[in-house]
Structures are given as C-alpha cells and as structure tokens.
Amino acid sequence: MAALQDQAIRQHCKTLRMPTIGTQFARLAEAAVREGQSHIGYLEALLAAEMEERESRAITRLLHEARLPRMKTLDGFEFDRSGVSAAQLRTLAEGDYVTRAEPVLLVGEAGTGKTHLATGLCVAACRQRRRVRFTTATALVNDLAEAAHANQLSRALGRWERLDLICIDELGYVPLAGAACELMFQVIADRAEKAAVIVTTNLPFSEWSQVIPNPRLCKALIDRLTD
C-alpha cells in the first residue's frame, strides 16, 4: 500500500512539475517523524525544498545565459593588492545601481582586475534573479553589424535592451570604425536611465578619442555613461 502511495505521489508531483517534492517527500517525512513536526511543518519543509531547488535552477540558467568569460566572484578578488575599495564594490553588488538604471565604469590599466570585478558584479546580479549579458566591446559591435547586414538590427537591439544589466568589457583595446561607434552608442543610449550597464576600459576619458575617432559620438557616449 505504501509503495503504491509513494508511486502516486511521485506521479502527482511530476504532473504538477514539482520534481524536488517528488524525490524528497519520503526523506522529509522520516525527518518530520523523528523531529515531531506537525503536518503544517512537514508541508512547509516540502514547499521550502521545492522553492530552494527552483531558485537554484533559475540562477544556474541566468548564469549560463549571461555568457560570462569565467565564473568569478567578488569574494575571490584580492582587494588588498588592487587598491580598489572593497566596501564600494560590495555596496554595488547589492544591486541598487541596477534598480536605479545607473552606469558603472571600471577604469584601469591591463591586469588590474577590471574584468574580474565586472564578472563578480554580473554574478551577483544573476543571483538576484536579474537578466544579464557579458560581452566585449568588439563582440558587441560584431553582433550588431551582423544583425544589420541581415536586416535584423532592430531585433538585435531589442534583445540587448530587454536585459536588466549588460557588461561591455575591454572598451578601448581595439579602435572602433565609424559604423561600429554608432552601433555601440545606440546600445548605450537606448539604456540611458532605463537599464544598467557596466563598462570596463583601460583608457581615461581624455584618451577615448583614440578608439572613437568621431568627436561627436565620443562626447555623446561619455555623456550617456556619466550623466
């Protein structure tokens, strides 16, 4: 009789798409008996297990969709050697800048940990159930250029615009031609005051003209990132 009940419960859980309850109900029932839990307490434990597993799967999916170059967190960053404020970065990791749709700029020479910090902020945002995408500046403009060539630019821009946070890494390492500058500007301008963006660069603003030769676009891009 018990075996038939177990089988029926598993089938119900499968139909209701509650796989964790289907695999954990027997173990949690034994724990409930040992600990003298009430029926309500047992039910709460079942639902909590299902919710915890769903949360874990959702975060795993968001991390996969973010296309991070590697899995790095702020906990693994050596703040003592970098001179970067750990308190400031941990405040950013709480995610208020994403809620307020504010840009974050990480400026420094190569090897100073900008990509690690940006990745850590992206991981934190994913764990807050936000839709994130990590890209290099070159990969971003290539993606948009290919979309434009296929007459799919509006659709591609829409995909970028719908994300809660995008991280554009390595702006300044490769000069951007006129059309590439315009595509980059379009993505950032579309997000101004509506959605957050992280940009890492090895160049101070005074040297951005080296990679963005159009002075009008260069100034407009800086304005969007600093307003």
pLDDT per residue as tens digits for the range 155-203: 999 999 999 999 999 998 888 877 888 998 999 999 988 999 999 999 9
Q: Strand 103-107's sheet: what is its strand order?
A: 103-107, 196-201, 165-171, 132-136
Q: Are residues 113 and 211 in the same domain?
A: yes
Q: Are residues 111 and 218 in the same domain?
A: yes
* Number of structural domains in the chain: 2
Q: Are residues 8 and 56 in the same domain?
A: yes
pTM of the prediction?
0.88
What domain range includes position 48? 2-66
pLDDT, position 207: 92
**C-beta separation of 128 from 222 below 8 A:** no
In whole angstroms, give the CA distance from residue 132 to residue 117: 15
Q: Are residues 32 and 83 in the same domain?
A: no
Q: Are residues 105 and 187 in the same domain?
A: yes
pLDDT (mean) for 8-33: 89
Q: Are residues 222 and 153 in the same domain?
A: yes
Does residue 138 sit in helix, strand or coil?
Answer: helix
Residue 1, pLDDT > 60, answer no
pLDDT, position 160: 96
Q: Are residues 100 and 45 in the same domain?
A: no
Q: Alpha helix (H) ranges present in the chain?
A: 2-15, 19-35, 39-66, 79-82, 86-93, 96-99, 114-127, 137-149, 153-161, 178-191, 215-226
Where a domain ends, among 49, 66, 83?
66
Q: Are residues 86 and 150 in the same domain?
A: yes
Tell me the pLDDT tens digit for each residue of 49-98: 999 999 999 999 999 999 999 999 999 898 877 778 889 999 999 999 99
Q: Are residues 47 and 112 in the same domain?
A: no
In whole angstroms, give the CA distance from residue 103 to residue 123: 17
Of 210, 153, 161, whose CA–CA distance to 183 is shortest?
153
